[in-house]
Amino acid sequence: MDDYFKSWIVKLETVAKTENASPARLINWLLKGHGIETDVRLLDAKTLTRNQQTQIESGLVRLQACEPISKILEAQEFYGRIFKTTHDTLDPRMDSEALIEATLSYFTKDDAPRLLDLGTGTGCLLITLLLELPHAVGIAVDICPKALSIAKENAEHHGVTDRMQFCLSDWCSNVTGTFDGIISNPPYITDGYPLDPSVALYDPAQALFAGKDGLDAYRILFNQLPPLCNPTTKIIFEIGFDQAKSVPALGVEKGFHLVHSKPDANGISRALIFEKLDSNV
């Protein structure tokens, strides 16, 4: 292997553990992201153009500083599709695929549900649902204008803009109408929780933290949701690993009952499905 890349393989050992991939694999992703398909083990750095050398060197320095490869390449896979992600958006997480599975257990491809995605970020949840449910329509809400513009880019890329609206709003304050499915992966980490640098330094704080107990966003949402619900509305929330009891307890206080919960790939209860209590009367 070329000496230049050999030295980077050594420098990236620690980072590679966090990313759960070998240093060579990380470098290969970086190369591929810049249009170089060759395996690093076969590549002579001197054959790269000056521009390519600058881009790769900059990417390697960023990798060494624990920046996730997804942020460097501005791309992350979710439910088998690629979404643009930046420092203004939370990187789509595999755990959140439980929300997709949960929602798809209530609607079929022939249904035309009206969906609402609160805290859309990259738009990965709503865009995926619109792609899986070809007659569905939906509104993507975020408080961050830059996140909404990334969601728009992703919607255009995936060809769903004709069925998707974008709403700059502090949770539901600018949202009207009723919805068949309300999906949200709100911030749910307790303030001050010691996160891995790859998250703490590179994902936006407003996508992560939700007060002293991590429940602030759920409190607000349960308060604001009743006028947006019809008698059969399903509310599908992502929760933190230790919130499977506390979030339903908040829901009951506001008239929402837990109808189902769906685990993530690690078997941790991740998606909770609620209905409005009086909707069954």
Ligand X SMILES: C[S@@+](CC[C@H](N)C(=O)[O-])C[C@H]1O[C@@H](n2cnc3c(N)ncnc32)[C@H](O)[C@@H]1O
Residues that bind ligand X (CB under 6 A): 90, 92, 96, 119-122, 124-125, 141-144, 147, 170-171, 185-187, 206-207
Compute the least distance from the CB of residue 272 to ligand X, in Å. 14
Nearest to ligand X of 53, 261 (CB atom): 261
Nearest to ligand X of 1, 75 (CB atom): 75
Q: Interhelix angle for 3-11 vs 50-64, to 10°?
A: 20
Compute the least distance from the CB of residue 34 to ligand X, in Å. 25
Nearest to ligand X of 122, 269 (CB atom): 122
Residue for token pair 């240093």: 23
Compute the least distance from the CB of residue 19 to ligand X, in Å. 18
* Amino acid at the residue 57: E
Is residue 272 within 8 A of residue 132, CB to CB? The reply is no
Nearest to ligand X of 69, 147 (CB atom): 147
Compute the least distance from the CB of residue 118 to ligand X, in Å. 6
Compute the least distance from the CB of residue 59 to ligand X, in Å. 23
Nearest to ligand X of 59, 121 (CB atom): 121
